[in-house]
Amino acid sequence: MSLNRAWIHIRGIVQGVGFRPFIHRLVRERDLHGTIKNSSSGVELELEGERAQLEAFIAELPRRAPKLAVIEEIETEYSDELKGFTDFQILSSKTEALRDTLISPDICICDDCLRELSDPKDRRYRYPFINCTNCGPRFTIIKDVPYDRVKTSMAAFPMCPDCDREYRDIENRRYHAQPDCCPVCGPEVFYLNAEGQRVEGDAIELARSTLKAGGIVAVKGLGGIHLACRCDEPEIAQTLRRRKQRDEKPFAVMCRNADCAAKGCELSDGERAVLEGFRRPIVLLKKREPGLWHISENAYVGVMLPYTPLHVLLFGDDIDMLVMTSANLSDTPMITGNDEAVRKLRGIADGFLLHNRDIQTRCDDSLGWVLDGKEYFARRSRGYVPFPVRMQRELPPILACGAEQKASFCLSRGAYVFPSQHIGDLKNMETFDCYTEQIAHFERLFDIHPKALVCDLHPDYLSTEYAAERAKQEGTALIRVQHHHAHLAACLADNLVEEKVIGLVWDGVGLGTDGTSWGAECLIGDYQGFERFGSIRPIPLIGGDLATKEIDRLAFALLREAGLEAGEIPNAGLYEKMVRAGLNCPLSSGIGRLFDGVAAILNIKTRCSYEGQGAVLLEAAATEDDGVFPIVLDGTPLRFDWREMIRALVKERDAGTEPGRLAARFMNTLIEMAVRQCVRAREASGLNTVALSGGSFQNLYVMKRLPERLSAEGFRVLRHRRVSANDEGLSLGQLMIAAACLP
């Protein structure tokens, strides 16, 4: 038997994720002895034991590591000089600063806790707040660091002796689980009627019977309160829409399990894995016609699975699917407080399933698709935040302030960048307050004092105003970054790529360096800078912002520019006068406007009740068609002149070709146009990598075909993986650009 000593350095995200107790267990299993301590880039182990056991231990690390741990590299050195360890010790290292550790996102109930929840002999049987080291609330209950029960919403619930024993036992699954509790010492659930009065009885059963009877119930989740109701009766969802004043915007649903989701939607293995994963985002699944039309009018419906024990108990074994939409009033932040819920949801909710554990930090449900088996975010929030993105090098401390409508921010510390949760539209005052509070909260939690602020070029964004004001007050540097450059950089950072690339950035609107509105850009650049290689012919927005709602104004503009008859559009006479007089008709090269205008020309939608509705419905309407309309590219920057395409499209429409085929052909044309722009950009620059970013790349028709076409032309394609392609992901790019210009 030959004994060896191994020095093992594990790099990655291994602090604050239950890694040391995990190692402790593994070491005991293998009969090894030694020490573990945190290092600045991970953890350091010194272990002695049989060589074969040491090797087996190392091989097991990545496979059995805690869910949140990210092991990037394991470095090992063996020696036969023994130190004679006789036990295993966790050493506290000098470099371990108080605020150096990471904070875990909220994690859905784990299998072990689920088992106990349904075991009549367990002391936590049917207890809606059961949790352990591997699951439960984290980010949403933390007030301050170090992460300790007294600094969370659980401070109000001192542990009972039984829970305390588990908490101190390193062999126990609840070792150092700060939110651990039980029916003796933990929070309580209760039910209120429509008037907000407490109803005696089993709160969960009361909520279930209200739901079954067709009522709407407010349910307190992890990061906010939802409104729930049955899905199977269109009238019930209609009632919720009417009360919530949410006419057409899709609702998300929660299903009892993935099999229930598969009844109404297509479900691939990759989608199932994300749906059932411990982060529990809302996954946008393709609807199976004609089901669920009253829930979502577009091609996809957002589905999530129960993630708290309370949800699990609410569904029981007989409810398959419920609408589960954020409780808020027209685009204000999601409600988090009990009193606030009762006050604001009067007349909307027929009952309230609440509890007395406070939500410290609002965090919306994450939302996205599964593309090639990987997550593709529309909104990165609960279950992911506040976990950092780890860059390849150390960064100075910077605050990136994001955009406006889909606001988010990023803060950097060392090699970590911490993207915030989904914040929302800053033009709403409550949302703006939430934005500034969260910036302060993150700076405190992660002990970051930004030495530079970075914002969008747009002077009127409230995030820009915030950054400018704060930079002035604190005397820090302020860096302004062009919107689409930031998108490009976000995609680079998201893929940990630093080289110069071709960037296709497609979105609704962003201020260009020339003072006009951009939005369908083919850029060449990196963190250091960019040039505008290509774009599209600008579209007059008749009536400015109004044209993004009344999209037949865009149809009029496209038809008129193409030299076609547009007289049948309501108010055509007025629009003609406005264009002629140049009255409130700013030009925009946003590709979203082209989608909207074509949706209206094809009569798919002419008036929108939410942003992007025209584009979303056009995508939903598309059927099979491989055709492509004529593509004209000219000028510098190389612009797509869409007039020829519009003429061909209208000709086909008038010949009776169905709109679904024309919608497909329109998107095929944009895809081919983009490929040609990239080929020309490659000829001009010698670059062979294309980064895709911007909100319009949330069109899955395009996202499934464009990368394929680009690859066929020999390009390497980068797309977003960790942050959203829309403006929410933009702050990451701002931060990296700022880091590149700081000394």
116 binds Fe ion (CB under 5 A): no
CB 522 within 8 A of CB 678: yes
Of 184, 273, 631, 717, the one binding Zn ion by CB under 5 A: 184
Report the site for Fe ion in 492-531 (rule: CB under 5 A): 507, 510
Question: Measured from the CB atom, is 296 or 731 closer to Fe ion?
Answer: 731
61 — phi, psi (to 5°)? -50, -60
Question: Measured from the CB atom, is 507 or 550 closer to Fe ion?
Answer: 507
What is the distance between the alpha carbons of residues 372 and 382, in angstroms, rounded to a whole number?
Answer: 22
177 binds Zn ion (CB under 5 A): no
Which amino acid does the sequence have at 193? N
The item of Zn ion, Fe ion, none sharing an interface with residue 110, based on CB under 5 to 8 Å by kind, is Zn ion
185 binds Zn ion (CB under 5 A): yes
Q: Which span (271-279, 447-455, 707-715, 727-735) binds Fe ion, by CB under 5 A?
A: 727-735
In angstroms, what is the minimal distance from the CB of 482 to Fe ion? 11
Sign (positive/negative) of CA torsion 401, 407, 412, 415? negative
114 binds Zn ion (CB under 5 A): no
The item of Fe ion, Zn ion, none sharing an interface with residue 599, based on CB under 5 to 8 Å by kind, is none
Q: Which span (23-31, 124-132, 348-356, 503-511) binds Zn ion, by CB under 5 A?
A: 124-132
The item of Fe ion, Zn ion, none sharing an interface with residue 13, based on CB under 5 to 8 Å by kind, is none
The item of Fe ion, Zn ion, none sharing an interface with residue 507, based on CB under 5 to 8 Å by kind, is Fe ion
Q: Which span (10-18, 75-83, 111-119, 260-268) binds Zn ion, by CB under 5 A?
A: 111-119
Question: Measured from the CB atom, is 236 or 426 closer to Fe ion?
Answer: 426
Q: Which span (380-388, 407-415, 474-482, 726-734) binds Fe ion, by CB under 5 A?
A: 726-734
The terminus-to-terminus CA distance of the chain in angstroms comes to 56
404 binds Fe ion (CB under 5 A): no
Of 132, 207, 448, 562, the one binding Zn ion by CB under 5 A: 132
What is the distance between the alpha carbons of residues 139 and 149, in angstroms, rounded to a whole number?
Answer: 12
CA–centroid distance for 730 within its chain: 12
Rg (CA), the chain: 27
Report the site for Fe ion in 175-214 (rule: CB under 5 A): none
What is the distance between the alpha carbons of residues 458 and 460, in angstroms, rounded to a whole number?
Answer: 6
Residue 87: strand, helix, or coil: coil
In angstroms, what is the minimal distance from the CB of 24 to Zn ion? 18
Question: Measured from the CB atom, is 141 or 667 closer to Zn ion?
Answer: 141
The item of Fe ion, Zn ion, none sharing an interface with residue 264, based on CB under 5 to 8 Å by kind, is none
What is the distance between the alpha carbons of residues 351 and 216, in angstroms, rounded to a whole number?
Answer: 7
Residue 411: strand, helix, or coil: strand
In angstroms, what is the minimal distance from the CB of 67 to Zn ion? 11
What does the DSSP 8-state code read for residue 18? Answer: S
Q: How far is CA 423 from CA 216, 382, 428, 431, in A?
A: 26, 12, 11, 7
In angstroms, what is the minimal distance from the CB of 68 to Zn ion? 13
Of 48, 320, 611, 727, the one binding Fe ion by CB under 5 A: 727
Question: Measured from the CB atom, is 123 or 451 closer to Zn ion?
Answer: 123
113 binds Zn ion (CB under 5 A): yes
The item of Fe ion, Zn ion, none sharing an interface with residue 132, based on CB under 5 to 8 Å by kind, is Zn ion
Strands 351-355 and 367-371: unpaired
Of 107, 135, 141, 385, the one binding Zn ion by CB under 5 A: 135
In angstroms, what is the minimal distance from the CB of 706 to Fe ion? 17
641 binds Fe ion (CB under 5 A): no
Report the site for Zn ion in 90-109 (rule: CB under 5 A): none
Q: Which span (142-150, 183-191, 228-236, 725-733) binds Fe ion, by CB under 5 A?
A: 725-733
Report the run of H or E that residue 310 belongs to, with start and end: helix 309-315
* Number of residues counted as binding Fe ion (CB under 5 A): 3
Question: Measured from the CB atom, is 224 or 694 closer to Fe ion?
Answer: 694
660 — phi, psi (to 5°)? -60, -40
Q: Which of 736, 101, 97, 40 is nearest to 452 (CA)?
A: 736
CB 566 within 8 A of CB 559: yes
48 — phi, psi (to 5°)? -125, 145
Report the site for Zn ion in 454-473 (rule: CB under 5 A): none
Of 155, 160, 199, 633, the one binding Zn ion by CB under 5 A: 160
Question: Measured from the CB atom, is 16 or 402 closer to Zn ion?
Answer: 16
The item of Zn ion, Fe ion, none sharing an interface with residue 727, based on CB under 5 to 8 Å by kind, is Fe ion
In angstroms, what is the minimal distance from the CB of 391 to Fe ion? 22
The item of Fe ion, Zn ion, none sharing an interface with residue 153, based on CB under 5 to 8 Å by kind, is none
How many Cα atoms within 13 Å fall on the side-chain side of residue 663? 24
Question: Measured from the CB atom, is 116 or 727 closer to Fe ion?
Answer: 727
The item of Zn ion, Fe ion, none sharing an interface with residue 113, based on CB under 5 to 8 Å by kind, is Zn ion
Of 23, 36, 61, 110, the one binding Zn ion by CB under 5 A: 110
Partnered with residue 197 across adjacent β-strands are none
Of 13, 23, 108, 182, the one binding Zn ion by CB under 5 A: 182
CB 65 within 8 A of CB 19: yes
Report the run of H or E that residue 242 belongs to, with start and end: helix 234-244
271 binds Fe ion (CB under 5 A): no
In angstroms, what is the minimal distance from the CB of 153 to Zn ion? 16
Calculate the dihedral angle through the C-alpha atoms of 508, 510, 516, 521, rounding to the nearest 10 degrees. -70
In angstroms, what is the minimal distance from the CB of 485 to Fe ion? 11
Q: Per the structure block, which two tokens stand in for 480?
A: 């302004």
Strand order, beta sheet including 88-90? 70-79, 3-13, 42-50, 33-39, 88-90
Q: Which residues are CB-contacts of 97 (< 8 A; sequence separation ≥ 6)?
A: 447
Question: Measured from the CB atom, is 277 or 586 closer to Fe ion?
Answer: 586
Of 163, 303, 342, 410, the one binding Zn ion by CB under 5 A: 163
Strands 517-525 and 530-536: antiparallel
312 binds Zn ion (CB under 5 A): no
In angstroms, what is the minimal distance from the CB of 124 to Zn ion? 9
What is the distance between the alpha carbons of residues 706 and 156, in angstroms, rounded to a whole number?
Answer: 53
Q: Which residues are CB-contacts of 168 (< 8 A; sequence separation ≥ 6)?
A: 175
Report the site for Fe ion in 71-100 (rule: CB under 5 A): none
Residue 535: strand, helix, or coil: strand
Q: Which of 291, 285, 264 is nearest to 273 (CA)?
A: 285
Q: Which residues are CB-contacts of 57 (< 8 A; sequence separation ≥ 6)?
A: 26, 27, 30, 32, 47, 49
CB 283 within 8 A of CB 303: yes
In angstroms, what is the minimal distance from the CB of 62 to Zn ion? 22
What is the distance between the alpha carbons of residues 325 and 610, in angstroms, rounded to a whole number?
Answer: 16
Question: Measured from the CB atom, is 130 or 216 closer to Zn ion?
Answer: 130
What is the distance between the alpha carbons of residues 292 and 311, in angstroms, rounded to a whole number?
Answer: 21
Q: Which residues are CB-contacts of 371 (< 8 A; sequence separation ≥ 6)?
A: 700, 703, 704, 719
The item of Zn ion, Fe ion, none sharing an interface with residue 185, based on CB under 5 to 8 Å by kind, is Zn ion
The item of Zn ion, Fe ion, none sharing an interface with residue 34, based on CB under 5 to 8 Å by kind, is none
Question: Measured from the CB atom, is 156 or 546 closer to Zn ion?
Answer: 156
Query: Which residues of the chain form contacts with Zn ion (CB under 5 A)?
Result: 110, 113, 132, 134-135, 160, 163, 182, 184-185
Query: Which residues of the chain form contacts with Fe ion (CB under 5 A)?
Result: 507, 510, 727
